[in-house]
Chain A
Amino acid sequence: MAPLVDTVLEIDTPEHLAFRTRIAGPARRMYAWILDLLLRAVIYMVVVLALGIFSVAGADGLGMGLTLLLVFLLDWFYFTAWELLTGGRSAGKMALKLRVVRHDGLPVGWRESLLRNFIRAADITMLPFPPFVLFVGPMVMALDPQFRRLGDLVAGTVVVVDEPVTMGRAVAVTPEEGLLSELPASLPLDRTDLEALELFVHREHMSPARQEELAEIVSPFYADRLSLPRPRRATGFLGALWARAQDPGRRVEQRAAPDGEEHA
């Protein structure tokens, strides 16, 4: 059977640690590219206006020369400069939370950055006749499993989504407080169980009936593992399990509160 289709990249580090990161596709990269294009246009306009001082002073040639130099630098070194200064992110990539990395997950170096950005010219080929522009890059990106354009293929780089993991997300399930006090501090739950519970308690906009329907798939098994009777409200039971897994000391604090001895 074919593997399940996904848009993540698995990287094995030299320390034999594997991590998964989302590959950035053509849509997101196009928005970043447009933002960079706009920024370059703004820089260009501001500098050209500033260079207008040379024509006022009668040195038209110098102004024109500096303008051409600026166009050359912006065309060929804008992305490389950003990527080297910010660890693989141009302004547009920062806004869209993207980062260029080497195929082994390490930060992009000056060689890779120069190479991928010099080949940018081939990704957007200019023609002297209609249609004038040929978007080779997006077509190559659409065909590559890691959405790499020509420059990425040559330089051995890949663009990934650089989104931080969100902690403290809203919990959509209310734990059954009565059950919570009955649960042991150490739960017989493995990583698979905890990941599934994590998804369940944070999923918003699900109807209570659907929550209950889903919770009833696993709650009898968890109740048996803990030698507890079948829960009356499966959703609340799973909520309590998750809350206990997050804060194993909660029962101790609750029970200690009346006499205050257990804290001591």
Chain B
Amino acid sequence: MSGDGTSFEARIVLRPRTLDETMDLVLAYIRLYHRDLRWVAVVAVLAATLPTLAVWILSGQDARYGAWALVFFTGIAERVVTVFAGRHLFNNPISVWGAWRQVLRRLPFNLIVLFGVYLPILMMVSGVEDDDAWLGFGIVLGVFWPLLLASHAHLSEVAHLEHLSPGRAAQRARALVSYRFGRALGLLLTSALVRFLFAIGTYSAGAFVVAAVLQLQGAATLIAVPLAILGLAASGPFMTLVRFFDYIDARTRREGWDIQVRFNAIAQRERQERARSLAA
């Protein structure tokens, strides 16, 4: 416990882990603390899905507007989960609304990062119907973008949990992935794969309910896009936790958090033994 009452006692066993083990740990964490996490996840998914669907429907089901809205609302909602998880993991109190307030306080920074991260995708989506040049530019940019994204994989965690300015946050995020760039790239690819699987999975489950349970053959295709949007939004809390736990792993490796826990326990034991021998 620090002087300002902030706890540093993690709810997980701190030790270096591989990326797949980090994902397993997130599943185990969700299973144990689902009561604490459910509201932040539900609010995040709804806050990402409903406005995106509204924009998509109001724009006459235009994929471009839908994509821009999805990027914006999903991105903001995921940052809320990051802030919440950052407090929850170390046994510090936080409310869902408190996490939202913290994220909205840094809205301009979040917007710049979000549109920076998804720029090539948005350019390609925008260019499909309007102008081939945009499509081409987006593709070229898209080739190099993953490398840049991977080198700033933990920008969001650093900015929100370490309260750094944008410049220093970028510098710190780059430092965190040095020696583990391959893993950061793996995290990026895994994130894309998991989001895709969530979208497919939600569509599959929804289509199963509509076609097999409700016996509304043909209705499954009508709800395909809304279900896919819901699936993408639902992947947000899970992937945010994976990215956050990967950030914890990076700090455990670079700063020896697990060693610190063990050394502190040894020091505590020594102090107690000395106190006992003095008392005797």
B32 touches A205 (CB 8 A): no
Contact of B24 (CB < 8 Å), options: A23, A196, A199: A23
Shortest beta-carbon distance from A197 to chain B in Å: 9
Interface residues of B in 190-216 (CB under 8 A from A): 190, 200-201, 203-205, 207-208, 211-212
B204 touches A133 (CB 8 A): yes
Provide the residues of chain A in CB contact with B178, threshold 8 Å: 205
Provide the residues of chain A in CB contact with B161, threshold 8 Å: none
Check B48 for interface membership: any CB of A closer than 8 A.
no
Provide the residues of chain A in CB contact with B190, threshold 8 Å: 27
Knowing A25-B23, A131-B208, A193-B266 are in contact, say whether A5-B259 is a contact too (CB < 8 A).
Answer: no
- A211-250 CB mask vs B (1 if < 8 Å, else 0) is 1001001100100000000000000000000000000000
Interface residues of B in 251-280 (CB under 8 A from A): 253-256, 258-260, 262-267, 270
A192 touches B27 (CB 8 A): no
Shortest beta-carbon distance from B252 to chain A in Å: 9
B201 touches A135 (CB 8 A): yes
Please tell me the number of chain B residues within 8 Å of chain A, measured between CB atoms.
Answer: 46
- With both beta carbons as reference points, the residue of chain B lying nearest to A206 in the complex is identified as B256
Contact of B25 (CB < 8 Å), options: A6, A199, A205: A6
Check A203 for interface membership: any CB of B closer than 8 A.
yes
A127 touches B24 (CB 8 A): no
A210 touches B256 (CB 8 A): yes
Provide the residues of chain A in CB contact with B11, threshold 8 Å: 2, 4-5
A5 touches B32 (CB 8 A): yes
Knowing A133-B204, A196-B263, A205-B254 are in contact, say whether A2-B13 is a contact too (CB < 8 A).
Answer: no
Check A147 for interface membership: any CB of B closer than 8 A.
yes
Shortest beta-carbon distance from A223 to chain B in Å: 11
Contact of A5 (CB < 8 Å), options: B12, B200, B207, B258: B12
14 chain-A/chain-B pairs, Cβ below 8 angstroms: A2-B32, A2-B33, A5-B29, A23-B24, A27-B190, A129-B212, A130-B220, A131-B208, A199-B262, A205-B254, A206-B256, A211-B256, A214-B263, A218-B270
Which residues of B line the A interface, CB within 8 A? Answer: 10-13, 17, 19-21, 23-25, 27-29, 31-33, 178-179, 190, 200-201, 203-205, 207-208, 211-212, 217, 220-221, 253-256, 258-260, 262-267, 270
The 6 A-B pairs of least Cβ separation, nearest first, read A25-B24, A131-B204, A196-B262, A217-B263, A6-B13, A27-B20
Which residues of A line the B interface, CB within 8 A? Answer: 2, 4-7, 22-28, 31, 127, 129-131, 133-135, 142-143, 145, 147, 192-193, 195-196, 199-200, 203-207, 210-211, 214, 217-218, 221
